[in-house]
Structure 1
Amino acid sequence: MDGSSPTAHSILSEVFGFDGFRPMQADIVTAVAAGTDVLAILPTGGGKSLCFQLPALMRPGLTVVISPLIALMRDQVRALKEAGVSAGALTSANTEDENAEVFDALYKGDLKLLYMAPERLAAGGTDRMLAHAGVTLLAVDEAHCVSQWGHDFRPDYLRIGALRRALDVPLAAFTATADAETRDEIAARLFGGDEPTVFLGGFDRPNIHLAFAAKDKPREQILSFAAARKGQSGIVYCGTRAKTETLAKAMCDAGHSALAYHGGMEPDARREVERRFQTDDDLVVVATIAFGMGIDKPDIRWVAHADLPKSIEAYYQEIGRAGRDGAPAETLTLFGTDDIRFRRMQIDEGLAPPERRMADHGRLNALLGLAEAHQCRRLNLLSYFGEKPEPCGRCDLCDTPPETFDGTEAVRKALSAILRTGEMFGAGHLTDILVGNQTDKVRQRGHDDLPTFGVGKDLDRRMWGAVFRQMMGQDLVRPDPERHGGLRMTDAARPILRAEASITLRKDTMKPERRPAAKTLVSDEDAPLLSALKAKRRALAENARVPAYVIFNDRTLIEMAETRPKSMDDMAGITGVGAKKLERYGAKFLEIITGEAEVVAHPVRRKLAGRAAGETYDRLLAVQADLARGADGTGKPMSCSASLLAKVAALGADRAGDVERLLGARLAERFGGAFQDVLREN
């Protein structure tokens, strides 16, 4: 960062410790750094933050980042400071001292990035303060919060467009999920009449394994999934606050370190859960969807849904909190008939206008289609977002293709039972009719006299439950809120009823689920070293009072364990090890890997770690040692300073002729020829 105009790649490597950009990052960084208005839709974990943090370091002046998530802002500021970047945040969670420190840096012109909550834009004097602070770029994180129909709508986001016009600076807006309708709304509200350059990133997260399962003793299913991943950070999402508490207790009883989290908790208690999750390597949080939005924890290894999410966008965003470091992560989503009924009625009983309710049913249908898919999950998921992938080989359906059967006759029997009972009853009562179960309710209503009574005895109750669930999933029937949830046939079912179309269903078997094998992040051979590296990371994190991943994330430690660097030069090549972190932590982790302390190198040499000039420096040093007393060993001792050797090393072969000018006559007479030979050999 000493040069007058650092390049994107030099900052990427030296500050953030990455060798290359993720897909589309380079194009977005170039556009933002050039001052182009940008709207970027990138998947969670796709590296959105880097797309405004890196340009902020390339551009003059201050970049202001608007983010709705206090915990996320504090995390990012902490990580930036750890990487040697001057950053600050103004949030309602700040102490007076923290605010004073930020304002002091702001007025001195020392800050490169300033994070702010949107609510701060309503405070008097904020516009004036920013106008005098030398702001040259506005970045908006979670830009979908400007959408008035979105579930994350934040009214103060509507002030951002006016702020952009007042400051007259370019704006870069980022979000993880936004359909075409939401994208248009973001563009209109944030950019006014100007058309931003839109980057629509690929939605694939290939490191995340996708899996769904129909509910069958769901608590045991979740506990079994978690047991195979014991000791790894995970999130379990639940549909109700009460379930978070009972399931968290069950996980603790099973030997996990687990905490509940929901919107009904006191703010201090919620913050403590967030703090624990960030700092502990193995904590499981059992939460409502209120959790995770403000957590920038890259090494969450698994996410499970104990209940069906509300839409395919919500599902994508929630599973996207796993594996943000790029290392393998896994998901499991449970779903059942009650989930589908609840989600349908939630939409129908909402206050949204009819066209919005129809769109919400469409989004739920897309998720149910994913849940009941007969082939590759990823193919189904990415097709919804407009991509055309090949089968992935990394989901439960690719691992084990499901059994299917021709369900046309079963569906026609079920539809007949629905119509003959006036579309007034739910799946439980209809199943009693189909299997011929003479309950009091069946007899009282005379439903044992119907032609459909007992026509479904070829399937047991569990199979009929699966049939009704898949009929709801494929939107052939819907619960009618005006009929207390009674199933009502949709137009999509009529061709099947009239024998004009057939339907294939998945076959749910009675076989109990096998307990999944324990999942590990590395081979058995590398596992002990990874554990030792994690222990070192935890000790350093506790000492510095920062989350463990701020030191190094899981992906970086996995690469260390698998490649086993032998020197600081090797360590500099590990993903996520930037210059600042190499200087601060490199030797400590190298000692764990090699079993011996690294010989302390001169600070000038440490700055060359991982570069070709570093090896050249070492050879020049060796040549200098040989010639310290001249070629015959009898001369007066002479040597070059470390900084001078570094300058010679940086010349390269094409500028070897400059060695004598750089050394000066006296040193050139002793070392010039030999140094030129070293440069030309490289």
Structure 2
Amino acid sequence: MDTKHTVLEKYFGYTSFLPYQEEIVDAVIAGRDVLAVMATGGGKSLCYQLPALVFGGLTVVVSPLIALMKDQVDALRANGIPAATINSSLGLGERRIIERVILEGRIRILYISPERAVQPSFLSLLSQADVRLIAIDEAHCISMWGHNFRPEYRRLRALKERFPAAPVIALTATAIPAVQDDIAVQLALKEPARFVGSFNRKNLTYRVVPKARYFPRLVAYLSEHRDDAGIVYCFSQKATEDLAEKLHNKGFLALPYHAGLPDAVRAEHQEAFSHGDAAIICATVAFGMGIDKPDVRFVIHTDLPKDIESYYQETGRAGRDGEASDCILFYSRGDYGTIRYLIEKEGGDATQKDVAYRKAGAMLDYCETAGCRRKFLLDYFGETYPEEPCGGCDRCEAPVKVFDGTEVASAVIACIRQVGERFGASYIADILTGSKSARIRENGHETLPAYDSGRYTRDQWLLFIQELVGKGFVTSTGGRYPVLVLNERSRAVLAGDLVVPLTEPRPEGVVAPEADDYDEVLFLRLRRLRKVVADLDRVPPFVVFHDRSLKEMAKFYPGTGVALLRIYGVSEGKLQRYGRKFLDAIDKHCAEQGIGPERRSG
């Protein structure tokens, strides 16, 4: 039996584990049930794929989406691992062949939907196979307390009951403690080893950009990233189609994706994106769970997400391969009205709505914070981040300038007092900027001393107000209709007893990340070769090699198979299957550019 390290290098082309992977693998190999919460890109799949090869026999993986199963199977086969999936897209003949191969013991990893996993006929088939391990992916779907609840997941405990000797590993990217407990109970896990990784995606850069006139900014950003793949999230189905058409007219390979499209069209668009035939997907949140493309270089939101959990999950689809990627949110506080509409439309009792409004308020706070965005996200999920610039958000990329904001604070506090402490931040900002809204006229507030008394824009006043709340100079009641009220510190400011430091407003923009240290010409050449090879094999390009692998090739110029095996993600199977073509391309590039043996790894 191969050791875990031998399997890691031979079949996956890696020489070391990512955080928590080795501990999880050890627990599974020891026969323990496991609950693993790891951020997207943390390498959850390897936590059951590697033990499957150590165990032998059959590992059954429950996965929610056909496209995800197919991508996983393609990637495993490219590494020389016998894998298969049984799903509704297969004909009867194809399914019978796979079932026969399973019974013959020639499949190591089988992907299956949660619906099929508990069918009596399928359980009967598995009873005749040598089931050694069961993996439940997207395990948060089992809990009504989590997002994306799927009732069919509740029945998966039948697998544990049918195969009590096989350890079960449940995996998810996001699960608060209550959801973790529910997963363990619903799956009947026996004293599971629990691993909760960090939520800090160090390779992601977070930026929030004013939404006004966002389309030219979006086009400018995409023009600088024409060779990259990305997702642009929109609120409505119509918005995805309109944006895709506008981008197409600007020369971008963009396609829409939403739940209203026919199944065949959605599948076609997702495959085009996965295979690199479309660089950009303009999507609603229907494009989400199960997206296995690792080289998504940017995730852009043109509308405000409804809560931090959704935003974190959606941005998590960027940079799953660990390479630097951008998360950009075009923000306007006006989008909050859309969120309120959704909360009311989705129904629920008063408590559920209050929770939803508080979550939406936290999303506003993230957009308007003057501090580090990464720290804000991690604090939200209960993870401590040091008080230092993260270097990976727009707030930390340039030093924050602080000024004496006592006059600004006094103007805000005076306005709150003049309206009787009965309104929220947007209304206060409207008064200070002299808005001519009907609501202000109906309340007679255009006659207040505070009306049109400010010299800043509405968005800048909102940032000041958010900072005043965060620093305790003003109190926000939160809930469905947050109201600003005064406190002891507010009154001390008006009395002249406190000085208020505030962050100086600054222009916002989209900043491109710094270039990596590799031969960009060779990298692009290898990417084109990868696309040709992938199309011949009818698999997505990332199944052949990840971007990180190509960048290392473009940095070290490997000249032999041994040198190529030292490249990240190059397994023995991939060396045999693709190595010669890529080595030839590297040799040709080096000859053309005069790159000698002294610069190449051999």
Shorter-chain TM range is 0.7 to 0.9
> Aligned residue for 1:489?
483
Aligned pairs (5 A) from 1:563-642: 563-595=556-588
Distance 1:426 1:547, change over 3 A: same
SS of 2:420's partner is helix
Q: RMSD across aligned C-alpha pairs, in angstroms?
A: 3.1
Judging changes above 3 Å, is the alpha-carbon distance between structure 1 residues 216 and 26 closer, same or farther for their aligned structure 2 residues?
Answer: same
Match of 1:340 among 315, 322, 336: 336
Name the structure 2 match of 1:170.
Answer: 167
Distance 1:247 1:228, change over 3 A: same
Spell out, residue by residue over 1:286-337, the C-alpha distance to the aligned partner (whole angstroms, 9 max, x if none). 1111113222111111111112222222222111111111222111122221
The CA deviation string for residues 160-213 of structure 1, in whole angstroms up to 9 with x for no partner, is 113211221221000001111211111121125x32110111222212122222
Superposed counterparts of 1:158-557, under 5 Å: 158-168=154-164, 169-191=166-188, 194-280=190-276, 283-344=279-340, 346-347=342-343, 350-390=346-386, 391=388, 392-404=390-402, 406=405, 407-416=408-417, 418-419=419-420, 423=423, 427=426, 431=429, 433-436=431-434, 442-443=440-441, 445-454=443-452, 456-464=453-461, 466-467=463-464, 488-489=482-483, 494-495=487-488, 498-499=491-492, 506-509=503-506, 511=507, 516=511, 522-523=516-517, 526-557=519-550
Aligned mates of 2:150, 2:27 — CA distance in 1: 27
* Shift in alpha-carbon separation, 1:437–1:154, aligned structure 2, 3 A: closer
TM-score normalised by length of structure 1: 0.78
Query: How far does residue 490 in structure 1 lie from its aligned partner after superposition?
Result: 5.4
Judge conservation of contact 1:344–1:478 (CA < 8 Å) in 2: no
Please identify, of 338-347 and 148-157, the stretch whose mean Cα deviation from structure 2 is larger: 338-347
Alpha-carbon distance change, 337 to 499 in structure 1, aligned in 2, over 3 angstroms = farther
User: Kindly tell me: are residues 404 and 227 of structure 1, through their superposed partners in 2, closer, same or farther at Cα, counting changes over 3 Å?
Assistant: farther
Q: Which residue identity is paired with 1:394?
A: G
1:140 matched residue in structure 2:
136
- Which AA in structure 1 matches 2:534? A
**Partner SS, residue 419 of structure 1:** coil
Letter in 2 for 1:578: S
1:636 maps to what in 2? none
| CA–CA distance in structure 2, aligned partners of residues 466 and 389 of structure 1 | 23
Q: Is the 8 A contact 1:244 1:287 kept in 2?
A: yes
AA paired with 1:385? F
Q: 1:99 to 1:532 in 2, by over 3 A?
A: same
Q: Decide which moves more: 355-364 or 147-156.
A: 355-364
**1:51-92 deviation line (CA, Å, top 9, x unaligned):** 011111111321111111211111101111111111111112
% identical aligned pairs:
38
Q: Match for 1:415: what amino acid?
A: I
Q: Aligned match of 2:66 in 61, 65, 70?
A: 70
CA deviation after TM superposition for structure 1 residue 377, in Å: 2.2
Q: Deviations over 1:240-284 (max 9, x none)?
A: 212212222222222211111111111111001110001116611
Size of the aligned set, in residue pairs, is 581
Question: Counterpart of 1:22?
Answer: 18
- Three-state SS of the structure 2 residue aligned to 1:73 is helix
User: 2:47 matched to which residue of 1?
Assistant: 51
Counterpart CA distance in 2 for 1:164 and 1:61 is 17
- Are the aligned partners of 1:556 and 1:576 in contact in 2 as well (CA < 8 Å)? yes
**Residue in 2 that maps onto 1:618:** none
Provide the rounded CA distance (Å) in 2 between the counterparts of 1:462 and 1:369. 13
Contact 2:370-2:467 within 8 A present in 1 as well: no
* Contact 1:590/1:597 (<8 A) preserved: no
| CA spacing shift, 1:584–1:457, aligned 2, 3 Å | closer
> CA separation in 1, counterparts of 2:438 and 2:367?
35
Deviations 1:9-38 (A, max 9, x none): 111111111111111101101111221000
Q: Which runs of 5+ in 1 are unaligned?
A: 482-486, 599-609, 616-682
Over residues 580-638 of structure 1, what are the superposed CA-to-partner deviations in whole Å (9 max), with x where a residue is unaligned? 1111111111111122999xxxxxxxxxxx9xxxx9xxxxxxxxxxxxxxxxxxxxxxx
Q: Is this contact kept in 2: 1:496–1:503, CA < 8 A?
A: no
CA deviation profile, 1:447-492 (whole Å, cap 9, x unmatched)? 33445444x24434453455567789999558997xxxxx65156x
**TM-score normalised to the size of structure 2?**
0.88
Secondary structure of 1:595's partner? helix
Considering only CA atoms, is the larger Rg found in Structure 1 or Structure 2? 1
Structure 2 distance, partners of 1:342, 1:413, is: 30
Q: Is the 8 A contact 2:526 2:550 kept in 1?
A: yes
How far 1:441 sits from its partner (Å)?
6.2
Alpha-carbon distance between aligned partners in 2 of 1:386 and 1:427, rounded to the nearest angstrom: 29
CA contact (8 A) 2:255 2:278 kept: no
8 A Cα contact 1:402 1:506, kept in partner:
yes
Q: Which residue type is aligned with residue 420 of structure 2?
A: L
Task: With a CA cutoff of 8 Å and minimum separation of 6, indicate the structure with the bigger relative contact order.
Answer: 2
Q: SS of 1:46's equivalent?
A: coil
Amino acid in the other structure paired with 1:446: G
SS in 1 for 2:12: coil
Whole-angstrom CA distance in 2 between matches of 1:444 and 1:382: 42
- Following TM superposition, by how much is the alpha carbon of 1:409 offset from its aligned partner in structure 2, in angstroms? 2.1
Contact 1:121 1:156 in 2 (8 A): no
